[in-house]
Every structure is written in structure tokens, then in C-alpha cells.
Structure 1
Amino acid sequence: MAFKLLLVEDDPEMREIISDFFTEKSGGAFIISMAKTGEEGQQKYAEDEYDLVLLDVMLPEVDGFTICRELRKTSDVPIIFITARHSEEDRLHGYRLGCDDYVIKPFSLAELYAKVTALLKRAKGMIRAEVMVVGSIKLDPYRCIIIVNEEEVELAPIEFAILKILMDNPGQVMSRDIFLTRIWGYDFDGNDRVVDNHIKKLRQALGDASSQIKTVFKKGYKLEGK
């Protein structure tokens, strides 16, 4: 089965490297379409159907954040940002806009390929509902709204990002390293106990639904329906 990927990247060398690696690694199963500007990327997406979008942030004409925001109004296509912008604020902004992953340059091509493959497997294995529901917790990834027992709950950006990761993987144990990598980035050099502190804040905000977040000794956390 072939998968169509849209790569929106203004660096011609980067486009060629990613395209060549993915084509060879997949044995032709990944068909890469490329765009060098944000406007061209939007046009290509409007004219064809894609299984996943690789999106740079700093693009001519239309930036990647804007493209992601517009795509999320009508599409659930998996989106991975590939960018040199590595600040925590940028990463959290990307997740709030609805991206599925955020990869910082320079990166490993093998790791990017693995992330793309994993996302495609999840996307093709199930259709994500517009509003994600686990137990008494509802999360609207497009409007960034959390509802618990039919009442809206306000979360800080990091707590929102943690909850979204848990909601994306219900019943699965998510290690502290997963949270650190996806939210703080590979260059984070702090203590992994920072995750525990934000889990504590998240539980406080969720009230009665906090019991759905289970601590798995020496492994991490998981979200259950009850």
C-alpha cells in the first residue's frame, strides 16, 4: 500500500535528503510531493489528498503555524513540524494548533521516518473523532477546550499538552521521557520530575476525573476510562 506525503520545506537540500531517504527506505511505498513555499503547500493540499504532512514553520509567503491552523479547520491529516525553532513556547504553540509531533533540526532521518510510520499506522487504524473522549474527560483538539462532567476546565499549555498525549494513547503507559521529548524537546537538560509536577497540577485541575490518570510505578502514567 502506498502513502502520499506532502513535504513543505523551503530548503532544497533538506527536501531532497528527506525525499530520497523516505523513498529508498520505504521501497517506494511513500510517495513524496514537495512544496517550497507555504502558499504552494496550501495549493497542493487543496488539489490532492495526502496521508501525512511534513511542515516547516519558517516558510516564505505563509508560515507553517498558519498552514496547520487552517488545515485543522477541515482536516484530521497527521501533521509533523520539522523546524529549527526549538523554544518551549514554539513547541507548545504547535501542539495547541493541532500538530501530532514536533521535530527539531538537526534531526535523525531514521527517527523522523519512524515517527511518520507510527503516525500513519495510528491514523489508518482508527478515525479520530472531532472531540476526543476518555471517561468523563472530553478534549476538543481544534478549539483547545477541555470538558469534564459537562463543565469546561481551563488548563495551562503544558498541562493541556500532557493531557492530549494521554488522550491520544488511552490505556497505554506513557513514560516521563515521552512527555519530556514531545513537550520540552530533546535538548531538555532538567530533571524528569518536572513531569510529575505538571501531572499533579493536571490532576488538580481535572477534579473528580483526576482518578482516571493512573501512576504506573517506575514506568510513567496512563489514562483510563474510569
Structure 2
Amino acid sequence: MSYNILLVEDETGIAEGIMDYMKESEITFTWAADGDEALALVYEHEYDLALLDVMLPGADGFEICRAIRAKSYVPIIFLTARGREEDRLYGYDLGCDDYVVKPFSMAELQAKIQSFLRRSKGLWTKNQVIQVGNIKMYPDRLLVEAAGEEVRLAPKEYAMLKYLMEHKGMIVTRDDMLVRLWGYDYDGGDRVVDNHVKKLRKALGDSGKLIKTVFAKGYRME
């Protein structure tokens, strides 16, 4: 299977290095060197994954991330020199899937890209349903229903709910969710998990009570 990735990076050396390193893979890159060009591409085309620098001429990476999330749940990875926790949390709140801080290993970046592509492609058959109580999830359509009503979730809350539903009856620790949803190299605190669980419960309304807090451990869905 071939993939089309949007690469938004204003440093020519980095962009060319990424494309050269992965030239033997089944990946086609569309490269934009400034944010305004990238926004035009986002509005006109569909991509399987996006690699976004944050600091760019024109629109910044956060604005591009918002534009992508307005139309798609494709994986988004930020390539950035910004390593501060507040910057990462802001990116995650906008819907990004991971951060790779410069300077980074090309091998690590390629592994992350392949992992996200595998997760987002071909993992679910048509009309498959995951159900816990009165919550139903249709992964092929990225659709969630609670008590028969459609629920709109941000990408992180959707991924969190899916993980909890897949592990019905099991304790899912905060560390489990940090690794699964934010990556092994995330160095922020686990309060980010609690914040997203709070948002998820609110979005689900009364059905949010199905997500139980396990004291000093994490969460369980039952």
C-alpha cells in the first residue's frame, strides 16, 4: 500500500533529509516550505499523515493542525524545536498525535510514521461495532453514539475512548494511556490523562459514568 504524506518544513536540509531517508519506502511526500502554501494544500487534497513544523513563514503549524482536524482524523506529528510541556499540551489539545523534538533520529521518525499509518489504515472491517453499555463505536466511520445519540469527540478523546472500550473490565493505568496515546518519549506529567478523561466524560453525558476511576491506578470501563 502506498501513502501520501504532507511534510511542512521550512528548513530545506531537514525536509530533504526526511524524504531522502524514506525514499525506499512506499511513501510519497508533498512538501510545503511555508504555512500558507500548506493550508492551500490541506484545503485541496487528502493525505494519509501530516508532518508539521511549528514555527513557519505564514501560518504556523498549530493553525495547519486545526485546518486538518476540521476535515480529517489522519495522524499528525509535529516536528519542532519546542519541547516545553505547555507547547506539547496545546498541540495535543488541537488534535496532534505526537511530537518529535529536533534534533531527532530519522530511524525513530520513520518508525513512528509507520506505526501511525498501520493504526489508521486497514485495522477495522466495515460496520464493525465496539460496544460497552449504551456506548457504541463504529471505527470505520469514526462515529460514537451514547444512548442512541451521536457524540462528537476530539481526536484524543476518541482514541482514549477506543482504548478503554477495547480493554473493557480491565484497569488501564495512566502510564498505559500516556504510552499508547502520547508516545514513549512524552515527558509531560500524567495529569494530561486526567484532563482528557474529564473532557471525555463531559462529552458522553450520563454515559460517562461507565468510565470508572480506580484510585491511585487509572481507569476502567464497565
- Range with greater deviation from structure 2 (96-105 or 54-63): 96-105
Deviations 1:92-144 (A, max 9, x none): 111111112222212221221121112111211345655556899x56107xx
Please give the alpha-carbon distance, in whole angstroms, between the structure 2 residues aligned to 1:135 and 1:110: 44
What secondary structure does 1:86 align onto?
A: coil
Q: 2:190 aligns with which of 195, 201, 208?
A: 195
Is 1:186 the counterpart of 2:189? The answer is: no
Query: What is the percentage of aligned positions where both structures have the same residue?
Result: 37
Query: Secondary structure at 1:32's aligned position in 2?
Result: strand
> Is the CA contact 2:75–2:120 (under 8 Å) kept in the aligned structure 1?
yes
Q: Is the 8 A contact 1:166 1:222 kept in 2?
A: no
Tell me the distance in 2 between the aligned counterparts of 1:22 and 1:98.
25
Q: Which amino acid aligns with 1:140?
A: L
Q: Does 1:141 align with 2:138?
A: no
1:1-226 correspondence to structure 2 within 5 Å:
1-24=1-24, 26=25, 29-124=26-121, 125-126=123-124, 129=141, 132=144, 140-141=153-154, 166-169=160-163, 170-171=165-166, 176=175, 179=178, 186=185, 188=187, 195=190, 199=194, 202=197, 206=201, 209=208, 212=211, 224=221, 226=222
Q: 1:187 to 1:93 in 2, by over 3 A?
A: closer
Report how many aligned residue pairs link the two structures.
196
1:16, distance to aligned residue in structure 2 (A): 0.8
- Cα pair distance change 1:52/1:202, threshold 3 Å: closer
Distance in 2 between residues matched to 1:200 and 1:71, nearest whole Å: 23
Deviation by residue 1:151-198 (Cα, 9 ceiling, x = unmatched): xxxxxxxxxx6x56532534256672761696598373x9xxx63896
The answer (yes or no) to whether the contact 2:42–2:68 under 8 Å persists in 1 is: no
Please list every run of 5 or more consecutive structure 2 residues that lacks an aligned counterpart in the other structure.
125-138
CA root-mean-square deviation: 3.9
After superposition, the Cα gap between the structure-2 partners of 1:16 and 1:129, relative to the gap in structure 1 and judged at 3 Å, is same
Displacement of 1:76 in angstroms is 2.2
Contact 2:2 2:28 in 1 (8 A): yes
CA 1:92–1:200: 2 relative to 1, 3 Å: closer
Query: What TM-score does the superposition give when structure 1 sets the normalisation length?
Result: 0.68
Structure 1 residues 47 and 201 mapped into 2: Cα distance closer, same or farther (>3 Å)?
Answer: closer
Large movers: runs of 4+ above 6 Å: none
